Amino acid sequence: MKYAFSAPTSTSEERESLFSHYSSAGYDGLQLKKAQFQDFVDAPGKFVDRWGDCPGIASGLIVGGGLDQPGIDALRSAIQFASRVHSDRIVFCHSLPRSAVSTEDISRFGRILSALGTEARDVGVVLSLHHHYNQPVMYRHDFDLFFDAVQDRAIGLTIDTAHLVKSGIDDIAEVIRAFHQVIDNFHMKDFADGEFRVLGQGAIDFGPVFAAIEDTGFNGWLCADEESGGDISQTLSECFKFLRKGTADA
């Protein structure tokens, strides 16, 4: 298992601080928010020249968008960038309200993303769906609809603990066990009173989560997805200690 960190940054100085300290905090890589790499999508060489010596600096790229033609074109551009900067995966958030889609739409999205996932695989990149509150794959039955339509295992699944709970799915361990064959990435974050919290400071019981991760033999990326708004330098350390203790206890 490998450990990653992800957090939004609002300034170039914050981004530089994140890029400079993730490794010394113990992480194997970063999963970058779109704003942290978007300026380099059309110039991947500049990204490599600047940060290419930092192991795992772009292990994952988090991309949001639609699956209309402009959205597909943007996702293809991100896939090509990922290949050039040696990213393991694209983590795709489908930015479309759940209320705007039907069950047939969810199956159709599975087929569309299967084709894109095959294109990504051909250039050495995994395409992983990030389920999300108020996005097409939100409710428990949406997972079945989507992955029943996925072809040739072309799409992985990023499990986000807080977004499951926010979407009304409290049995996180059940989802992990049901979809362990396609789960390739975890976004670990806490949740309480309608807000994202630093890991260990919310209401989620992570004991069964870590147990399910262990029981299913997961050996991919475990990412602390820090969106509580806390100080990055502090939460880097706190989240890493939480992940290491959780996996050790399991």
At 109-154, the pLDDT tens digits run 999 999 999 999 999 999 999 999 999 999 999 999 999 999 999 9
Distances (CA, A) of 26 to 123, 176, 198, 214, 237: 29, 25, 17, 20, 8
Contact 135/94 with Cβ under 8 angstroms? yes
pLDDT confidence tier of residue 230, bands split at 50, 70 and 90: confident
First and final C-alpha spacing in the chain: 13
**Phi, psi (5° rounding) for residue 18?**
-60, -45
| Strand-strand pairing, 156-160 and 89-94 | unpaired
List beta partners, residue 197.
190
Helices (H), the chain: 12-21, 44-51, 69-84, 103-122, 140-149, 161-166, 172-178, 207-215, 232-249
Q: Match 């209320």 to its residue by tokens.
A: 99
| CA proximity to 187, closest of 164, 161, 165 | 161
Question: Could you tell me which of 80, 81, 111, 109 has the C-alpha nearest to residue 94?
Answer: 109
Kindly state the average pLDDT of the residues 162-184: 98
- Please state the rounded mean pLDDT for residues 45-58: 96
Confidence (pLDDT) at 111: 98
- Overall average pLDDT of the 219-247 stretch: 95
- Structure token digits, residue 83: 């290949």
Domains of the chain are: 2-249 (3.20.20.150)
